[in-house]
Amino acid sequence: MRNVIFILMVFGAMQVQAQDAVHGKAVYEHWCSPCHAPGGRKHPGTSALEIIYKGEKPAVLEERLDLTPELVAAFVRNGVKIMPPFRKTEISDKDLADLGAYLSPR
Amino acid sequence: MRYPPGVSQPDFDRAVLEFEAAIGSDWVFTDEADVDLYRDAYSPMWGEEEEKIPSIALAPQSAEEVQALMRICNAYRIPVYPVSTGKNLGYGGSAPVLNGSVVLDLKRMNRIIEVSEDNAFALVEPGVSYFDLYNYIQELGLDLWIDCPDPGWGSLIGNALDHGVGYTVNPYRDHFEAHCGMEVVLADGDIVRTGMGALPNAETWQQYRWGYGPWLDGLFAQSNFGVVTKMGFWLYPAPEAFRSGSVQVMGYNDVHELVRVTARLMYSGVLNTNAGVQSPIQFVLGQNPEMAERYDRANAEDIRILDEFARSIDTPFWASQFKFYGPREIVDQSWEYTKRQFAHIDGVRFTDGENLDFPMPYEELMQTQDENHLGVPSMSVFQLGNRSNFNPTGSNGHLGFSPVVPMTGEAVIESNKVLGRVLREMGGSTVFNVPPYSYHQRTFTILVGFTVTRDVDANRKTREIFRELVKVAAEHGWGEYRTHTAFMDDCAQAYSFNNNALLRLQQRLKDAIDPNGIISAGRYGIWPKHLREDDDNA
């Protein structure tokens, strides 16, 4: 019985995580990809990261393997250079947690 | 929690409780970290005492909630500053003109209420962005285009109310001109519908804009007389084709004929979109002190030598880009007709540009020269001031000084010389020829761009130059069409005919419509009675 409960708990946790990542992807596509999609000519976020990292890291956020929810939250709520911060009516705290989950290594 | 000016702390504390009861405590932002998200990210006063910072922010979800909030604000005389999506970056963003105002953030009001394909209109709330409406139309497969400004994340309503513009055809590209019908909540919480919307069960609210009696919509643009909660917009039935082409002329004085013919083509409807005047030789002249001096002086001998210089390096002095939208046959013939109108200019050259047929897949649209000109919203424009190989640190934002000048060759030359001199003398950018562009019908707008930094001294210098440009431009009869909140008083004061009669009339209207002066105090230079200085009526 304990094993069944454990399996259910793990399964439940995976469900929650999967659901969050799906929503996080939707948040990303709505709010982030207009600037951070592949192709720096039309996407200023990608273009800026190409200049910063010079190929040492991927310029496209979705390809990064070193992002954490905390780092994502810091940039979203503080902005950087021409990227303004995002308000809670745009990206809520729940949206932000899901976005962090989506962009963290999967 | 910060407190707004002119309101006692106990009154504001009571008002906050009432705000929470009206819209829910989750949507009343009082924590300073949350409220700081409403600072103007591109403020040219960032970190200085002059920077305007809100006290709290409210985020209603419906017109009824806006009404409830306005009644509370009016009762306690709380200054309130509505923003649609707060993305008007470069023009003040979501920060108020009056420090400590309560921001009314309408982003959650994001319903696309109706889109009619057959009658080509949309009715939307303030939180709807150009991306939202574009995606909605694409998902439904409607045969319609939107007209979008450069950044796609802004509000249709906010952009139109600030006289924002786009790049397709008339009348859609002038976003206020493309609107039809509004819903507005007034300072006392009353709600009004303009045009045919005043007729209960109106069936033509988004099709017949004048309604019955005086047309009042203009009162709610670039002003502070109400909170617009719905607005209709005409949409462009998707055209079959697009093509562009360039006309280049070799001589300094050819600009007069280039612009005269361009204007005639526009006024007759052959050209029904924007065009500008560039100077391909500008960069070369800027590198050559002798030629730059001759360009600035431009007597007969200077012009002869400038023309010889242009021919010697085989570079046109002036060029205009033209665009055509519509049925394939008309687009092709319009370009041929346009070329014939310029053929009499000695040495004129023509270059074909893009030639596209629609519909096109999104991925291909994003590979065109400028997708915004094809009704596709994007963020490409934010390459302006972005990190680049030439400027690896990038900027913290931008501002634009944008006076309106006549569509004449004389104005093209004179405005660039006058503004260029101010920039050079004050140590600003030595931009030689800032390309005039017909953002609005029948005029050119000169757009002088500034970058914003986090360096206080640099920003102060930018403000000093900006204010001098406002003053000098006004002395020549050129006024701004729109400006950053930091310069709204300067620009309003420039429109000073008959002892500022227009501003005085706007103040009288303000006092009548919003007697407690609670909405967006100071926006576009309109201050309520209790905050006006040196006012005999105050």
- Provide the pLDDT for residue B535: 58
Q: Give residue B461's pLDDT.
A: 95
Give the fold, CATH level 3, of B9-105. Answer: 3.30.43
Instruction: Give the Cα separation of B228 and B184 in Å (integer).
Output: 4
Query: Is A42's CB within 8 Å of B371's CB?
Result: yes
Q: Report residue B358 as tokens.
A: 């629609």
CATH number assigned to the domain covering B112-237: 3.30.465.10
Give B250-268 as a 3 state SS string: CCCCHHHHHHHHHHHHHHC
Residue A4, pLDDT score: 40
pLDDT at B431: 44
From the number of C-beta atoms within 10 Å of its C-beta (0-12, 13-18, 19+), residue B346 rates as exposed
Across chain A, where does the E strand assignment appear?
none
How much is the average pLDDT of B405-430?
A: 88
Q: What pLDDT score does A21 carry?
A: 87
Reply yes or no on whether the pLDDT at A10 is more than 80: no
What single-letter amino acid sits at A106? Answer: R
How far is Cα B454 from Cα B395, in angstroms, rounded to an integer?
9
* Cβ separation B37–A87 shorter than 8 A: yes
pLDDT in tens, B55-67: 999 999 999 999 9
- Span B177-199, average pLDDT: 98
Beta-bridge partner residues of B467: none
pTM of the model: 0.95
Contact list in B for residue A52 (CB cut-off 8 A) is 387
Mean pLDDT of B456-483: 96
Beta carbons of A52 and B387 less than 8 Å apart: yes
The verdict on a CB contact (< 8 Å) between A88 and B380 is: no
Asked whether the beta carbons of residue B386 and residue A44 sit closer than 8 angstroms, the reply is yes
The CA–CA distances, whole Å, from A41 to A66, A102, B243, B301 equal: 24, 25, 22, 44
Q: Which CATH superfamily is A17-103 part of?
A: Cytochrome c-like domain (1.10.760.10)
The nearest CA of chain A is from the CA of B110 a distance in Å of 11
List pLDDT tens digits, range B247-299. 999 999 999 999 999 999 999 999 999 999 999 998 898 889 999 899 989 99
Q: What is the b/e burial string over A28-48, where b = at least 16 CB atoms within 10 angstroms of the residue's CB?
A: bebbbbbbbbeebebbbbbbb
**Higher pLDDT, residue B431 or B34:** B34
pLDDT for A40? 83
Task: Please give the DSSP secondary-structure letter assigned to residue A32.
Answer: I
Name the region of A96 (left: φ>0; alpha: ψ -120 to 50; beta: rest). Answer: alpha
pLDDT surpassing 60 at residue A7:
no
Q: What is the mean pLDDT of residues B337-351?
A: 98
Could A44 and B380 be called an inter-chain contact, meaning their C-beta atoms sit closer than 8 Å?
yes
B206: pLDDT confidence band, cut at 50, 70 and 90?
Answer: very high
pLDDT at A11 over 60: no
How far is Cα B103 from Cα B418, in angstroms, rounded to an integer? Answer: 39
The reported pLDDT for the residue numbered B149 is 97
Residues in CB range of B169: below 8 A, 6 or more apart: B147, B236, B272, B273, B325
Count of CB pairs separated by less than 8 Å, A with B: 77
Nearest Cα neighbor of B479 from B488, B487, B470 is B470
Q: Find the range with the poorest average confidence among B202-206, B311-315, B421-425.
A: B421-425
Taking only the tens place, the pLDDT of each residue in B129-170 is: 999 999 999 999 999 999 999 999 999 999 999 999 999 999
Mean of pLDDT values over B27-47? 97
**Cα distance between the two ends of chain B:** 31
Which of residues A8 and B3 earns the better pLDDT score?
B3
- Spell out the residues 6+ positions from residue B118 whose beta carbon is closer than 8 angstroms to its own: none
Question: What pLDDT score was predicted for residue B384?
Answer: 84
Helix, strand, coil distribution of chain A in percent, nearest 5: 65, 0, 35
Q: CA Rg, chain B, in Å?
A: 24
- Taking the CB of residue A95, how many other CB atoms lie within 10 A of it? 20
- pLDDT, residue B429, reads 56
Is the pLDDT at A19 greater than 70? The verdict is no
Stretch B320-332: mean pLDDT? 97
Whether A35 has its CB under 8 Å from any CB of chain B: the answer is yes
Average pLDDT, chain B: 95
pLDDT class of B369 with cuts at 50, 70, 90: very high
The band of A6, judged by pLDDT with boundaries at 50, 70 and 90, is very low
Among candidate residues B235, B241, B226, the one with its CA nearest the CA of residue B121: B235
Parse chain B into domains and list their residue ranges: 9-105, 112-237, 494-537
Residue B430 predicted with pLDDT over 80: no
Strand order from edge to edge, sheet including B443-446: B404-406, B443-446, B436-437
At a CB cut-off of 8 Å and minimum separation 6, what does A43 contact? A33, A34, A35, A36, A37, B379, B380
pLDDT higher than 80, residue B534: no
Contact partners, residue B314, CB within 8 Å, separation at least 6:
none
Q: How far apart are the first and last CA of chain A?
A: 31
- Give me the residue label for tokens 């976020």: A45
Q: Give me the mean pLDDT over the B83-93 stretch.
A: 96
User: What is the band of A18 on the pLDDT scale with cuts at 50, 70, 90?
Assistant: low
Percent helix, strand, coil in chain B (nearest 5)?
40, 20, 45
For the question of an ipTM over 0.90, the answer is yes
The C-alpha atoms of residue B83 and residue B81 are separated, in whole angstroms, by 7
The total of other beta-carbon atoms located within 10 Å of residue A9's CB is 10
Interface touch A84/B366, C-beta < 8 Å: no
The 10s digit of each residue's pLDDT in B493-521 is 999 999 999 999 999 999 999 999 999 99
| Chain A nearest CA to B288, separation (Å) | 31
pLDDT, tens digit, 9 for 90 and up, residues A36-48 = 999 988 999 999 9
Count of alpha carbons within 13 Å of A79, Cβ hemisphere only? 17
- For residue B67, what pLDDT is reported? 98
Q: Which residues of A touch B398 (CB under 8 A)?
A: 82
- The full set of domain ranges for chain A reads 17-103
Specify the pLDDT at position A2.
42
Under 8 Å between Cβ of B428 and B468: no
Average pLDDT over residues B118-125: 98
Kindly report which listed range (A49-53, A92-96, B347-351, B419-423) carries the lowest average pLDDT score. Answer: B419-423
**Distance between CA atoms of B49 and B513, rounded to whole angstroms?**
32
Q: Which one of A35, A43, A82 has the shortest CB-CB distance to B385?
A: A82
Q: How far apart are CA A64 and CA A58, in angstroms?
A: 6
Instruction: Give the Cα separation of B533 and B527 in Å (integer).
Output: 9
Query: Which of A35, A51, A89 is nearest residue B389 as measured by Cβ atoms?
Result: A51
Domain B494-537 indexed as CATH 3.50.50.60: no
Beta bridge partners of B437: B276, B445
**Chain B residues closer than 8 Å to A28 by CB:** none
